[in-house]
Amino acid sequence: MSPSSPVIKVISAGIYAALQDAGRYGYRHLGVPVSGAMDTQSLYYVNHVLQNNINSPAIEILGHGAKFEILEEVRLCVSGASGIIHLDGKNTTPHQPFFAKKGQILYIQKIITGARFYLGISGGFFAEPVMQSVSTINGTHLGPLKKNEVLRRNIDEIHGNSQNSRLIHHTIDKTKPIQALHGPEYHFLSETSAANLMNATYTITNENNRMGYRLSGPALYTVVAHNNLLTSAVLPGTVQLLPGGQLILLMRECQTTGGYPRVLQVEEASINQLAQRWASDSIRFLI
């Protein structure tokens, strides 16, 4: 990767904005999370329409309020969540590429549906990779974007090609069941708890971030003691049963091992849907 001259300046990062690619693979044995874009389908779609390498870095933006100054003419695309996005006060078309000129201001004014936007540029953003990825890991030096930070474009891939001509942006549907498979310790559940897990509605609590979502719903009980359960591998989409009977659903930046029963494993497409949900949104599992 080679940087160009500065292309975008962060005026305001809003709630949260960070560079993300598809994640950091091959280092989980060292305890390093995968991280990467919470909604990988939206990341891939943005790169597809801009004819970038599918894994090119883009800016993940949580909620509204983020504002960016354009430092040189560039082709952009914003996808993921739907909302009101202004370029110098005029609405842009979501999920479609557009040109921005030097000095213009891109403003994520309002979010309507979903939780996260993905802002990509032609060629993708440049950043020095750490363990073959530029994605953030919160709590480390690989943190989110800050006010007045200046980003550069990757000049090596301005004329790159998307690797999948059939990519589309997914429709955000908060009523859609979350598809999951039985986890390794699913059989620990009592018959009643297994039925509750299949039929109950759970709510995302305020304790949610890129590491995981704590859920609130009917308490679940096991018929197998798990006090001495060995710490085992977990990954994005693993649903663990906590000692109090509630669930935690691990997301992209989760730890690599855990000691709680793994009762479900959420499928990839549903992780992308979950990335577009907020606290108080509901979840039903389709097992």
- Would you state the torsion angle of the CA atoms of residues 264, 268, 272, 277, taken in this order, to the nearest 10 degrees? -10
Per-residue pLDDT of the chain (287 residues; tens, 9 = 90+): 666 789 999 999 999 999 999 999 999 999 999 999 999 999 999 999 999 999 999 999 999 999 999 999 999 999 999 999 999 999 998 899 999 999 999 999 999 999 999 999 999 999 999 999 999 988 788 889 999 999 999 876 555 444 455 677 778 999 999 999 999 999 999 999 999 999 999 999 999 999 999 999 999 998 887 667 888 999 999 999 999 999 999 999 999 999 999 999 999 999 999 999 999 999 999 99
Measuring CA to CA, which residue among 99, 15, 98 is closest to residue 59? 15
Amino acid at 131: M
Superfamily, domain 178-286:
Cyclophilin-like (2.40.100.10)
Map tokens 């310790």 to a residue.
185
Predicted TM-score of the model (pTM): 0.93
Which residue ranges make up each domain of the chain? Answer: 3-157, 178-286
In the chain, count H helices and then E strands: 3, 20
User: What per-residue confidence (pLDDT) applies to 262?
Assistant: 96
CB atoms within 10 A of CB 265: 18
Output b/e per residue, 34-59; b: 16+ Cβ within 10 A.
Answer: bbbbbbbbbbbbbbbbbbbbbbbbbb
Dist CA 222 CA 186 (whole Å)? 9
Measuring CA to CA, which residue among 185, 179, 136 is closest to residue 274? 179
